[in-house]
Structures are given as C-alpha cells and as structure tokens.
Amino acid sequence: MLYPMTFKPILKKIIWGGSDICPFKGITPVQEGIGESWELSHVEGNYSVVDNGALEGKTLDELIRTYGKQLLGEKVVEQFGSIFPLLIKFIDARDNLSIQVHPDDELAKKRHNSFGKTEMWYVINAAKGAGLYSGFSKQINADEYVKRVEDNTIMDVLQRYEVNPGDVFFLPAGRVHAIGAGCFIAEIQQTSNITYRIYDYDRKGPDGKGRELHTELAKDAIDYTLYPDYRTHYKAHTNATVELAACKYFTTNLLDVDTIMVRDFSELDSFVVYICMEGKASIRDNKGNEIYIHQGQTVLIPADTDVVTISPVPGAKFMETYIG
C-alpha cells in the first residue's frame, strides 16, 4: 500500500553554493558550498530514494515501475509516460548564476529527444538588495540578441527585480532568466536538464577559460515577447488555497495554515507534492497513514490517495503542487 513519502535530499556542491540549505532543512553538520538540494528527482543518475516507511531505500524509478498509475495518476502517465514529470529543488546562490534559457517541448524533442523546461521560483529568503532576472526590459530581436552577447551588453536589456521572501516568478520555456547572488529559492520545474547558457559575466573556470555559451542554440529558443511585468502577483490568505501558478505542466498553490485543513483529491488523478516552507505539521491520508514533516522537507502523496488532512503547528506554510 502506498503512503505519503519523504526522500533523501540530493545535495549538490556547486562553485556558487552558499550555506543556507543545511540549516533550513535541519541537516547537521552544516556543509558549505551546497548550491542545490534536489528534493524529488527522476533525472537519470539522480533518482530520489525513499527515506520513510515500508518502501524505504527504493528509488523513485523503482516506485514508478512497480506502481505506475497508482503513484502518478492515469492522466499523468498518458501525458508524460513513465517518468516523474517534476523536479523539485532548493537553490542557494552565494554568487550570480549564469543568464540562461530553456527550450520548449517541441524544440527540446527535436534537438535532444527530451521534454523542455517550464519552471517557477518561490523566494524563501533574500539578502538585502538581492535580485534576479526574468525577461527583457526593452524589445529586442534575435539579431540584436546575438550582437549584444558578442559585445557584452546583453545585461542592459534584461529585467532585474529586487526580491523579498514570498516573491514568485513563473518562467515558461523560452523566458531568459537568472538567479542573483543572495537568493534562496524553491524551484519547481519540468524534469529536464537542458539549459542554454547565454551569458556568464565573463567568468573564468578552474582551467582559466570562460564557460561555454550556447548563443546559437538559445537564439531560436528565446521568446522575445516584451511584457510589462514578469512577476506573479498573488494575495496571501491564511487557511486558504492560494494559486501561484497553473499551466499544463503543474499547478502550484500556497497554503499558509494555523488550523486543520482537509484537502480532497478524489477527482484529481495526479500525485501531489507538499514542500514545507515554514513550521511543521502532520499529514494524514484517508488510508490511515500519517507523517510528521518540518521546514525543508518535501512529501510525495501518491495519486491513489483521496483525502489528506493537514494538522499544523500554527504558522506552517506549504507549497502544494500537482498536475492538472
């Protein structure tokens, strides 16, 4: 019988990584230079491993092969096949990340036989003055883009946002973006590892050379549409389901709870993921399984679950994500 599952975090030591992920997740001793924690991953070579209950030690891949639609949902399997379609991460940037873009499904399929990458960011914490880039600040076309990459002026036409905890950015495939130094972020994305690097601040790698840029590949992947605002605006409410993003790849809600909340998923036909952003709570399903989770943990609720009851310590905050 399937039950709510937590997974061992896959910690990634990266040159730009900081020191916030371990304390946030309650991991000791604190490791320095951890740039990412992959909370739930079906990326080959980085399969998440269950760390609670009867299925402890099983990989997400084994679960999908054994339980398929029971775990993922019938509609999800029809849409994405036998892969877990989302990658959930925490990102701690001590330094600026490169400016990048991801291809959409069509281009990724043609070039890499892969899904594209649409994603979203939720800012957990930010140093004073920290910011990120999303979209363009003025209208440009593909030719101007190439020219600006060549003469190092691409940053002049990118839209920068100073950020605060709770800020949300939805990043459809094709949107140019980058996380800036001092940002601590939760990221929900399609399961895809395809990134085109546009600009890297002329930084040199350990070999003294600049990192490879994918100027030509990115040129056709970029959406050059200019929007007045690239932020997601939402009104926070306690003990309510507040929608942050909804697209064909995922729906994400914010749950800020200080009293018992019952969620009915009997009509959903999808797994549900809870990312605990603050506080702690117990989550109980309609089969009688109960799990206690705290800040920094991610829980997978199988698709064959009809109802979950969240009993928080007042002030618990979750992101809730599913397909549909």
Dist CA 25 CA 322 (whole Å): 22
| Amino acid, res. 109 | K
Task: Look at residue 177 and give its three-state secondary structure.
Answer: strand
Query: Is there a binding annotation on residue 112?
Result: no
Cα 299 to the center of its chain, rounded Å: 14
Task: Look at residue 157 and give its three-state secondary structure.
Answer: helix
Buried b (16+ CB within 10 A) or exposed e, 246-277: eeebbbbbbbbbeeebebebeebbbbbbbbbb
Q: What are phi and psi of 174, to 5 degrees?
A: 100, -15
Angle (nearest 5°) at CA 116 between 89 and 318: 30
Query: Is there a binding annotation on residue 119?
Result: yes
The catalytic position among 197, 211, 231, 263 is 197
Q: Using omega within 30 degrees of 0 as the cis cutoff, is the peptide bond preceding 29 cis?
A: yes
To the nearest 10°, report the CA torsion of 211, 214, 216, 220: -150
Let me know if 197 is a catalytic residue. yes
Q: Which residues contact 187 (CB under 8 A, 6 or more apart)?
A: 87, 88, 89, 90, 91, 119, 120, 121, 122
Dist CA 211 CA 149 (whole Å): 14
The enclosing H or E element of 146 equals helix 142-150
Q: And the tokens for 13? A: 């030591």
Which amino acids are annotated as binding site for Zn(2+), given as ranges? 102, 119, 177
- Per the annotation, where are the binding residues? 102, 119, 177
Q: Which residues are catalytic?
A: 197
